[in-house]
Structure 1
Amino acid sequence: EGGCSAGEPVPGGVPLRIHAPRPNGLLGGRRALLAGALVALAVLAAAVVAGALSAERASATDFTATNLAPCLEHPFGTDWMGRDMLARTLAGLSTSVVVGAVSAAVSSVIALVLAAASALGGPRDDAVVGWLIDLIMGVPHIVLLILVSYALGRGAAGVCVGVALTHWPSLTRVLRAEIMQLRAQPFMACSRALGVSRARLALTHALPCVLPQYLVGLVLLFPHAILHEASITFLGFGLSPEQPAIGVILSEAMGYLTSGAWWLAVFPGAALLAVVLMFDRVGSALRRLLSVEGVQA
């Protein structure tokens, strides 16, 4: 009559086990995800600001302190021109983050617009977008990047435009498939029957539903942007060697690794890895925060 407590047998002979929900606390559930995302964004912003402030020091040469190993005065060592590698790493991170973030953001917006036009438009729109995807994916990225960057006079603008125009096809396919599944839902059919325009369907129905996939794709575009920026810079069609960037630093360090100057590549590479992981943390946290099946507050 009084019920069964935890661990007490029930008439069927099976003990009843009651699992109390785990309390989230102050930093549990969504609060923990939001706090982690904000901390990562704060660290990224601090790295960008510190890099901008270190730009002048990063280009200062001192030929009396060339190829110094890491020490108290130079925690990241110095290069063959006596430049402080800590300052160059911070300045390079600032440049690479700005170039990668801008180009990845523009490329992801292009992917979202084309995916919505393909899935919510007519057969002709779908055929045009499919032809553009096949055209871009049929040519190696590095070739298109070199052509676009060279045509725009190289530099940061050429790299950003080149990456933005060549890295959207894969994300477009993913977002198009998600919107096509959404299009088959009954509420989408009701909206179309009520005369809702395609633009409003894309903004109010499709965009909120594909936002988690969009964020994941944006995060995955960032390391690709950094990699291809370093590639075309190494070939001489990207950023100038005088401009500090992680791609420039790593490409220059390759010629000095055999002489034992390991710090020229290890510290900038580790810093780049940390930045990429922070972007991944932000994207994962935002995806779970915006997901319908995310954790509860």
Structure 2
Amino acid sequence: MKATTEPGAGTAVHKPGVLGRWNRRQRALLSAGAAVGLLLLVWLGAGLMDSAQLNSRLELRNLAPSVEHPFGTDWLGRDMLTRTLKGLTLSLKVGLAAGAASVIIATLLGLVAATMGRTVDRIIIWLIDLFLSVPHLVTLILIAFVLGGGAKGVIVGVALTHWPSLSRLIRTEVLQLRSAEFVQVSRHLGRSRLWIGTRHILPHLVPQLLVGLVLIIPHAILHEAAVTFVGMGLSPHEPAIGIILSESMRYLSTGMWWLALFPGLCLLVVVRCFDRLGDNLRVLIDPKRAHE
């Protein structure tokens, strides 16, 4: 039999595993697919859950986690798995709406700052620095309080506090594209600003906007949960994660640990999925990493 070691070597040759033979883009694609699959599983799971499990059933109250109720039940006999999945779906909807609005604001202000002259640019840069100097959560709570709370207050608050970083990135990208050779050629050929903007600049911004949206959503979800937790967000009658965590604080001292543990872990997993998805999308769309 042939030896499994190289001549003169004292150790065996180890072949790389399956993942070791994949390049970085392939691993990023696999990780992004897993994150999307997990998020879809949460969304579909919430849709398949019977809403009747949200009704009060006092004979089932304060049950610890079991096969029938994996996340246990609360003090009113409501199934915590159903409440958690419904709450995560509600948080996803709020996060998507707030993130999309924030991306639109960032895109408009970034384009205006890069194309409307130095005076407008200085004003927008001052606004960006102003919003970045104030903690997001404080501003969000103030905006939600002024608007009377609820989903509208949270969405508007998140949209008005999460645009500065992306807006600065878009401004820098547009300034670089304006001096690009293909843009200068189109300008010398008599193309209008609208034609150049829609054919040259906007397509280059779409990947940045997509990554920005995916990375804003987890911040929006966490801030929505935080604002709801302190009573300035969604209605207490809705199965929001912030409401679930806020209510569970009153029962932790009685030993009902499952009321906060499982919803908190699920929220962390969803936020982490969006974070990983954004990082992997950045790897996939970056042309500089095409051969990694």
Residues 206-245 of structure 1 mapped to structure 2, 5 A cutoff: 206-245=201-240
Q: Does 1:250 align with 2:207?
A: no
Kept after mapping to 2: 8 A contact 1:120/1:202: no
Counterpart CA distance in 1 for 2:133 and 2:25 is 42
Partner of 1:85: 80
Partner of 1:18: none
Q: Which residue of 2 aligns with 1:129?
A: 124
SS in 2 for 1:64: helix
Residue 178 (structure 2) pairs with residue 165 (structure 1): no
What are the within-5 Å matches in structure 2 for residues 33-182 of structure 1? 33-34=28-29, 36-54=31-49, 56-137=51-132, 139-182=134-177
Instruction: Say if 1:86 and 1:221 are closer, same or farther in 2 by CA, change over 3 A.
Output: same
Distance 1:246 1:204 in 2: 42
Contact kept? 1:55, 1:91, Cα under 8 Å: no
Stretch deviating more after TM superposition (211-220 or 63-72): 211-220
Cα deviation per residue 1:114-146 (whole Å; 9 max; x = unaligned)? 112211332233133224324434554344433
SS in structure 1 of the partner of residue 183 of structure 2: helix
Unaligned runs of 5+ in 1: 1-22
8 A Cα contact 2:211 2:281, kept in partner: no
Contact 2:94 2:155 in 1 (8 A): yes
Q: Look up the equivalent residue of 1:289 and give its one-letter code.
A: L
With the length of structure 2 as denominator, give the TM-score of the two structures: 0.80
Alpha-carbon separation, structure 1, partners of 2:124 and 2:192? 20
CA distance in structure 2 between the partners assigned to 1:284 and 1:232 by the alignment? 26
User: Which residue of the partner structure matches residue 7 of structure 2?
Assistant: none
Mapped contact 1:96–1:226 kept (Cα < 8 A):
yes
1:8-47 equivalences under 5 Å are: 33-34=28-29, 36-47=31-42
Between the aligned residues of both structures, percent identity stands at: 50
Q: What is the CA distance between 1:42 and its match in structure 2?
A: 3.7
User: 2: distance between equivalents of 1:196 and 1:268?
Assistant: 55
CA distance in 2, matches of 1:82, 1:155: 26
Q: What is the letter of the counterpart of residue 198 of structure 2?
A: L
Deviations 1:87-119 (A, max 9, x none): 111111110111112211220221122112211
Q: Pairwise CA RMSD of aligned residues? A: 3.1
Letter in 2 for 1:175: I
Deviation string for 1:177-198 (max 9, x for gaps)? 2332333333333333334444
**1:86/1:222 Cα in 2 relative to 1: closer, same or farther (>3 Å)?**
same
Query: CA offsets per residue over residues 15-40 of structure 1, 9 Å max, x none?
Result: xxxxxxxx99xx87766654553443
Aligned residue-pair number: 276
Contact 1:116 1:202 in 2 (8 A): no
Matched residue type, 2:93: V
Mapped to 2, the partners of 1:138 and 1:30 lie a distance apart of: 36
Distance 1:168 1:71 in 2: 44
Find the counterpart in structure 2 of residue 19 from structure 1. Answer: none
Instruction: Name whichever structure is richer in helix by fraction.
Output: 2
Q: CA deviation at 1:206?
A: 3.0
